[in-house]
Structure 1
Amino acid sequence: MTSAGIYDVYLIDSLDLDRLHAAMCEIAGVSGDDVDIDAEWHEGRNSDAAALCTYEPFDGDLTYYLDFYMRTVELSEADFAQRLSAHLRTPVVYAAESYPPSAFWLVEPDGQRLRVRLDGREEGETWLHLIEAVERPVGLLPHVPVEAQPEVIREHRMPTPVADGLRPSAGPEKVTRKAVSGLAAWEAMVVRMTSGWPPDGWYPLEYWQEDLATRDELAADLAKLSPDLAETVAAAVTMVDDTFRAATQEIPGVSADKAWWWHRAPEPPPWLNR
């Protein structure tokens, strides 16, 4: 955003219009006459105002939808939501990632934020806007289950420069493309591990085991490549493996028939963070 901010947020509590008006004045740095708030759009609204908000009551856990046009504001959505929450003295919900569409953040007036998973269902003629899960307890949502939300992790893409460097020379052969894709998946996990496990600093054990199985498949695919390609891809795999070794430690209790990567894990294991 370079000249104006457009923000879509939600509330889980009542809407105090006086506080909303004051918040918009402060965030936009304008006087009260330059703020326009209404429940619908109509010809009588001040479309030239520096700060506009159209609000809509919702049924369910989400109680209001607020659509802002802030002509003089260049804040990120996260910063805008945090400031709005502080002024309204109530939590504000806003979108986290474009995918999955259920992934949202809830920011509290003190600036703390947590992931929430949205859902909805029809009840009679009413659509209920629901919060299916919260990352940690929220006072206004005592009935909502507290759950980790791992679905956002895989959608947080990691760079894979080693695998990307092979793609131009991979050729059309299916087995080669599969090997490079397997390397990319393995590299993505290793990069995530050495980057502190973004986006949320943890990683499910199930995902870890799936990644080790991907490395098994990669080993099998390497054996199917032509000698010249096998040498090139194997060198790239070794680069990623070396990083994996350096970031992990030997662990006991693994079956001897498992490949060496199954015998290693980071310390502390990232799945213990949840």
Structure 2
Amino acid sequence: MTYNFFTVDRLQPPLLSNALASCINVEPSTVDVADVDGDQDDRNWDAHVLCDYTHVFGNVSLTLDIFVQDAVPNQPNEADAAKKFAAAAQTVVLYPAAEQIPSAYWLVTPTGLLTRARLVATDDERPTYSIDAVEAAIPQLPGVRVMQLPEIVRERRVPTPVTADFTRAVDALRRSQHGSVNAALIDEPGTPLNHSRNYLAEWERMVRIMASNWQPTGRYPIELYCDALRARDFLAHLSAKLPQPVDDLLQKAVDQLDARFRSHTQLDDTWAIEAGTSDSSATMENPGWWWHRKPLILPWDGN
């Protein structure tokens, strides 16, 4: 098992050894800790736990690359190890999240508070790390802004059955052409059909999250909400670029989602201005009706 941690505090090797021994349930004497930039000759390569640490600059002080031998029983997963290590070392620990986003991390405090964090690094040979934002206030990081991270929400997998039905219906229509090729039915990047499917999926994702009362967190970034409204704009403009049978299928799908959107919103022309976003029906030319409505539950309050 391997673990990759950042710590906010600059911990000394004896504390690292004891904390690792505690969270992995081995004897401190079987833990080998060494500075990557230091002398490696005296290392115990047969230790149960090998930990390489590096001093770094910024909001974090150390990176820890930890390897646990297969012979060690009951090894915790990375999340549990980070939580136990944070408590044992009395420091804030960051470890990588599953999303394929370089800045996406989990952060855990000594008391067990767990939240998402955005960790960014400069391009210097010895980079400086900054904890740019967190999704919950961290007492040890009073100057770090608290906000929901849009890139994490964007990566959430949300079922889009209406979009799937639309895609299947278009596929059936394409197969019915009996070998003839209709350019309007080509679903490749940049084509009207491809745009229609992608914008429909974006609209559906937001509508379904809204219908769930913004689960699982009860919050939703306003910039992603406005992105979905712009996707709805594009759907309205794509109609003229699609053949009638495809347009009919698209409108059927959009109508289903629009009905759900209406049931979870109310008329309001000022919500965007009050929320401080640059998007507003007052600044647009002929905005769609969807820009004149706001969610019954505002998910960006307090973000």
Q: Normalising TM by the smaller chain, what interval? A: 0.7 to 0.9
CA contact (8 A) 1:100 1:155 kept: no
Equivalent position of 1:95 in the other structure: 96
Equivalent position of 2:30 in the other structure: 34
- Residues 4-43 of structure 1: matches in 2 within 5 Å? 5-40=1-36, 42=40
Which string of whole-angstrom CA distances, capped at 9 and with x for unpartnered residues, describes residues 97-148 of structure 1?
Answer: 544322323211111133333233478x854333334445544444x44242
CA contact (8 A) 2:131 2:144 kept: no
Equivalent position of 2:294 in the other structure: 265
Which string of whole-angstrom CA distances, capped at 9 and with x for unpartnered residues, describes residues 14-66 of structure 1?
Answer: 31434432332333233334322222384653334332211112223211111
CA contact (8 A) 1:156 1:199 kept: no
- Residues 11-160 of structure 1: matches in 2 within 5 Å? 11-40=7-36, 42=40, 44-70=42-68, 71=70, 72=73, 74-121=75-122, 127-135=127-135, 137-142=137-142, 144-148=143-147, 149-160=149-160
Change (3 A) 1:191 1:44: farther
Aligned-residue Cα RMSD (Å) equals 3.1
Which string of whole-angstrom CA distances, capped at 9 and with x for unpartnered residues, describes residues 154-181 of structure 1?
Answer: 2334332322343353531522222111
AA in 2 matched with 1:188: R
Q: Secondary structure at the match of 1:238?
A: helix
- Post-superposition shift, 1:89? 1.0
Equivalent position of 1:250 in the other structure: 266
Worse overlay, 210-219 or 164-173: 164-173
AA in 1 matched with 2:43: R
AA in 1 matched with 2:205: A
Worse overlay, 74-83 or 208-217: 74-83
CA contact (8 A) 1:153 1:199 kept: no
Equivalent position of 2:182 in the other structure: none
Q: Distance in 1 between matches of 2:215 and 2:34?
A: 39
Q: Distance in 2 between matches of 1:74 and 1:266?
A: 45
Q: Distance in 2 between matches of 1:179 and 1:232?
A: 11
Q: Distance in 2 between matches of 1:47 and 1:166?
A: 58
**Which sections of structure 1, spanning at least 5 residues, go unmatched?**
none
Which string of whole-angstrom CA distances, capped at 9 and with x for unpartnered residues, describes residues 171-195 of structure 1?
Answer: 3152222211111111111222234
Q: TM-score, normalised by structure 1?
A: 0.81
Q: Distance in 1 between matches of 2:77 and 2:213?
A: 24
Equivalent position of 1:226 in the other structure: 243
Change (3 A) 1:253 1:59: closer
Q: What count of residue pairs does the alignment treat as equivalent?
A: 267
AA in 1 matched with 2:161: P
